[in-house]
Amino acid sequence: DQQVKQNSPSLSVQEGRISILNCDYTNSMFDYFLWYKKYPAEGPTFLISISSIKDKNEDGRFTVFLNKSAKHLSLHIVPSQPGDSAVYFCAASAGNTDKLIFGTGTRLQVFP
Amino acid sequence: KAGVTQTPRYLIKTRGQQVTLSCSPISGHRSVSWYQQTPGQGLQFLFEYFSETQRNKGNFPGRFSGRQFSNSRSEMNVSTLELGDSALYLCASSWGLEVNEQFFGPGTRLTVL
């Protein structure tokens, strides 16, 4: 049973435009959410997180939105750059110290 | 500061064999978590060790085991390998238990023939 779902395996966006990556979860116990970026031959790197007490968190070009009633979160990248091309994973946990449950990832390609 | 290192980076084994993978965390980090990444399944949590104690375990069969040493280095072992065990095995370390402070290694690519 996939508790964290990323239904779009891939996304292609033009440089300078907005990239929106989506993630849905089913477990109502999740209250902490994270996004990771992964380049080939490297481990994932932490991008941004949000706790359930907030509905938005911003860090530079990256913004994460959380809709608790819909059990949905999204990552916005504005403006998108070619260096953003990578696989993006969302992850969730029940508290900031519990194990992480990851989605299956979305491959983002940013073209010139 | 050196990052998380995993050895070996690549490994080829045959069905029925066993394998041991190693993870050296960032200096000072006490927590090590292991994940399995396969196409279409994302990263799946295997187990977490903190100060030599297994703190959390994912839904994997008993063929998957791990341990952590007093210097925080960790090993995971898979016995009686199956074709489906072919995957990228990632470890992540953190100083404490906060998941947003995990740093991942590059992974060990295991191929089972």
For B32-64, what is each residue's pLDDT tens digit? 999 999 987 889 999 999 999 999 899 999 999
User: Residue A105 has which token pair?
Assistant: 């990832």
- Please give, one letter per residue, the 3-state secondary structure of chain B: CCCCEEECCEEEECCCCCEEEEEECCCCCCEEEEEEEECCCEEEEEEEEECCEEEEECCCCCCEEEEECCCCCEEEEECCCCHHHCEEEEEEEECCCCHHHCEECCCEEEEEC
* d(C-alpha A80, C-alpha B86), whole Å: 34
- Interface residue B108 vs chain A (CB under 8 A): no
User: Residue B64 has which token pair?
Assistant: 């998957």
Q: B41 vs A104: CB contact, 8 Å cut-off? A: yes
* d(C-alpha B31, C-alpha B53), whole Å: 9
Q: B42 vs A100: CB contact, 8 Å cut-off? A: no
Q: State yes or no: cis peptide before B8, omega within 30 of 0.
A: yes
Amino acid in the structure at residue B88:
L
Q: Which residues between 19 and 38 in chain B have a beta carbon less than 8 angstroms from any beta carbon of chain A?
A: 33, 35
Could you read off the pLDDT tens digit of each residue along chain A, which spans 112 residues? 689 999 999 999 999 999 999 999 999 999 999 999 999 889 999 999 999 999 999 999 999 999 999 999 999 999 999 999 999 999 999 977 788 999 999 999 999 9
